[in-house]
Amino acid sequence: MVRRLIAATAVACKIRCNDLRQDLVHWVGGAHSELHLPKRRRGQRNSTSADIIQAVRQLVLIASDDLIAGLLNRNGLKTGNGNRWTRERVTSLRSYHHIPVFKPAEDGIEPWLNLSNAAKLLKIAPKTLRLAAEAGKIEAIHPLAEGPWIFARAALTTTAAQSIAERARQNPRYPTGSHPNQQSLFSSTT
């Protein structure tokens, strides 16, 4: 309907410049409209970057499409066409790249946990766990700079994770303090 209306009332004339496509629309009543659009170059594609696709693959372990869209927008990431992310766009990306949808575990025991749930499991503060993950003492995934940390439940049952949790419980003022066998660099002055 809209195309027929425009076709009946406008005659388009296209002019091509170096990097810009200019369309001059001549309306039947004698008015003119000028449009300036970027010209697509040969071989140019508007596809979503591989980094965003990898981040979605990791985020789908703990988050729904709504939450993933919000996280991508919070990080200032755009679609291949430069649009903001919505639930529908994340769903379309997942479908195109054969990424499975997030489904909570039926038995309630999630194989992947976010930072707060992992900290509850270890019975330590989330900051303690984040600092340990940043130091590489506990295996974790951090797909986005302004996004969640993702922990495998199996990684939280290792001896390294249990020893960090035990040290944090013994010394609550210094969450991920030095190892108890580490010698002091300075001798006591008192």
User: pLDDT tens digits for 28-65?
Assistant: 778 888 877 777 666 667 789 999 999 999 999 999 99
pLDDT tens-digit readout, 83-103: 999 999 999 999 999 999 999
Sorted by sequence, the CB contacts under 8 Å of residue 177 that are 6+ apart come out as 167, 171
pLDDT of residue 14: 53
Q: What CA–CA distance (Å, rounded) separates 25 from 12?
A: 5
Q: What CA–CA distance (Å, rounded) separates 117 from 108?
A: 12
pLDDT of residue 179: 55
Residue 190: pLDDT band (50, 70, 90) is: very low
pLDDT of residue 23: 76
pLDDT of residue 25: 77
Q: Is 10 left (phi over 0), alpha (psi -120 to 50) or beta?
A: beta
Q: Which of 107-111, 127-131, 177-181 has the lowest mean pLDDT?
A: 177-181
CA 115 from centroid of its chain's CA atoms: 15
Pairing of strands 20-27, 32-38: antiparallel
CA 94 from centroid of its chain's CA atoms: 13
- The domain limits of the chain are 2-38, 50-96, 112-170
pLDDT tens-digit readout, 117-170: 999 999 999 999 999 999 999 999 999 999 999 999 999 999 989 999 998 888
